[in-house]
Amino acid sequence: SGESGAGKTESTKLLLQHIMNLCKGNSQLEQQILQVNPLLEAFGNAQTVMNDNSSRFGKYIQLRFQKNTVQGAKLSEYLLEKSRVVQQDTGERNFHIFYYMFAGLSSEDKEMYGLLDPTLYRYISGRFGTQDVAQHWKRKYQEVRNALDMVGFQEQEQVDMQAILAGVLSLGNVTFESEESNGSVKVREASQGWLKAAAVMVNVLSQLVSCVLCSPWSPSVSCCCSLCADARDSIAKVAYSRVFDWIVCKINELLAENVDPEVELREIGILDIFGFENFAVNRFEQLCINLANEQLQHFFNHHIFQLEQAAYKEEELPWETITFKNNEPILNLLLAKPLGLLSLLDEQSAFPQATDKTFVDKLNSSFKGNLHFQQGRGCVLGFSIIHYAGKVQYTAGGFLEKNRDTLPANVRGLFINSVTPLLSVLFTGKSLCCAICASFCIVRCPLMHSLMVLMERMYSANPHFVRCIKPNSQKEPGVVDSQVVLQQLRYNGLLETIRIRRDGFSWRPSFEEFAER
């Protein structure tokens, strides 16, 4: 754990290499496991203002062993930041894979995928990079292709996957206008080419895509062009997130252990999850990320302070209680039922007439006087939470939309009928669990369930904590800013941890071990 940019993902890769080395083997399975991280980084990491290779999802890697030999691995992913596909703030980029494709694909392959100059695409903000950066991306693209081959992805699967990503980029350039005669909505003439390119890549008729984008809106709906743009972005986000989910499922199929079910396997799990974030503009995604970090901090406190000191008292050892900063009140503010922030967000999301403003008004009335909540100031609609790591001001715009995760109901049928095998698979069966509501599918935000499953896993394990400390805020190598470091040591509870390790009993051998010694 640690702040964004503190080195969690790099530490995870080193830890995996170390464990594989300790196995003293060089099997294909071990090499495949080592390829999983760079593969997922390409599809799940992006440049942010805090970190050039920031994980925009959480992952839990379970390694399964028999007699010190790795027999299999399983990957679980949490909360991919799919909104990044359609929008990035100043100084940030989309997921790495889009840039790698532009830099690494041959001219012939780009033509096959319908990819033009990268500066034309709205979903990557019309920005590319310098020649040196493009060369780096080209090498990274080759690494990704090697990793896909090594893990076991078929050539046609890789082609289909890249076709879908190219289609997503083209879809982002589709814009809309009102029909003057009857006020209905149509795709702008100037962006018909982008619509056709997107349709060709996913092997469906462009008329059908146009129909899906424009049909939910009646002439009486205000801002209907904006609503069609929202539908377009929803399709792009869900298509990308399905590709990501499929990659994870495919990895798990290929790395599953092939042993007798009766054989008991030992397990080591490594959790690498997005770090605490506090940007100039903090949205729904930052709240999800910071909530996950609040829960991990509470888990750390529980093991290091509460359980440890309870054991000393139970054994009646002379012990002066060490106090620590308990973040339980913040978790209650966020998670309590029925009046926690997320419960109120779900409640508001269920009302069609509710807006981000009615949600903020509800928060202001419910948490008035709460020490960890502050009402927003100024003209920007929002609120502040006093987290364990400091105060974060959240912009409330888009909270309800992102929590609802709306997707036009006829999109599923459109993609199931695609002749691209991969796309059809992504939208078939249990991959889309949703409730039908009017002309929409509402895919409930998986945050609560996802975090609940993760914390159950954590509490059932014997944890070891790797605390990553960020040396400076400028992303500079070889520079240690003592104030930045000290701030992290304080809010992480590491100064109190040092006390409990110094004054307590950090090494506890069994009586047999002690006697042997």
Give the active site residue among 12, 37, 45, 55.
55
The reply to whether 328 sits in an annotated binding site is no
Closest CA relative to residue 128, chosen from 154, 94, 89: 94
Any known ligand binding at 395? no
Tokens of 409: 């109901």
Q: Which residue has the tokens 């701030």?
A: 487
Q: How far is CA 446 from the centre of its chain?
A: 11
- Residue 6, annotated ligand binder? yes
Asked whether residue 340 is marked as a ligand-binding residue, the answer is no
155 catalytic residue (yes or no) = no
Structure tokens at 386: 């006093």
Quick one: which H or E segment has residue 12?
A: helix 8-22
Among candidate residues 37, 48, 51, 173, the one labeled active-site is: 51
Residue closest to 194 by CA, chosen among 121, 293, 289: 121
Establish whether 234 is a catalytic residue: no
Catalytic residue of the set 5, 104, 172, 493: 5
Q: Is the dihedral of CA 134, 139, 145, 151 positive or negative?
A: negative
Determine whether 167 is an active site residue: no
The DSSP 8-state label assigned to residue 78 in this structure reads E
Catalytic member of 72, 104, 167, 275: 275
| Known active-site residue 191 | no
CA separation for the pair 114, 83 (Å, rounded): 24
Which residue shows structure tokens 């780096």? 136
Catalytic member of 41, 77, 277, 496: 277
Where do the H-state alpha helices sit in 367-517?
399-404, 410-416, 421-426, 447-459, 482-491, 494-503, 511-516
Which amino acid type is present at position 307? Answer: L
55 assigned to active site: yes
Q: Which of 82, 303, 116, 138 is nearest to 193 (CA)?
A: 116
**Choice among 1, 4, 290, 406 that is catalytic:** 4
Based on the residue annotation, tell me whether 277 is a catalytic residue of this protein.
yes
69-78 β-sheet, strand order: 69-78, 58-66, 266-272
Query: What are the Cα distances from residue 423, in Å, to 120, 159, 183, 247, 310?
Result: 25, 12, 33, 13, 54
51 among known catalytic residues:
yes
- In terms of C-beta distances under 8 Å and separation of at least 24 residues, what long-range contacts does 388-393 make, across chains too? 388/293, 388/294, 388/297, 388/325, 388/327, 388/330, 388/491, 389/3, 389/276, 389/278, 389/290, 389/293, 389/297, 389/491, 389/492, 390/278, 390/491, 392/277, 392/278, 392/282, 392/286, 392/290, 393/282
| 5 marked ligand binding residue | yes
2 annotated to a ligand binding site: yes
- Cβ atoms within 10 A of the Cβ of 293, count? 23
9, 173, 282, 301: the active-site residue: 9
Active-site residue, from 54, 94, 293, 420: 54
State yes or no: 315 annotated in a binding site. Answer: no
Tokens 């060709």 identify what position? 200
Q: Which residues are annotated as a binding site?
A: 2-9
Instruction: Return binding residues for ATP.
Output: 2-9
User: Which residues are annotated as catalytic?
Assistant: 4-5, 9, 51, 54-55, 275, 277
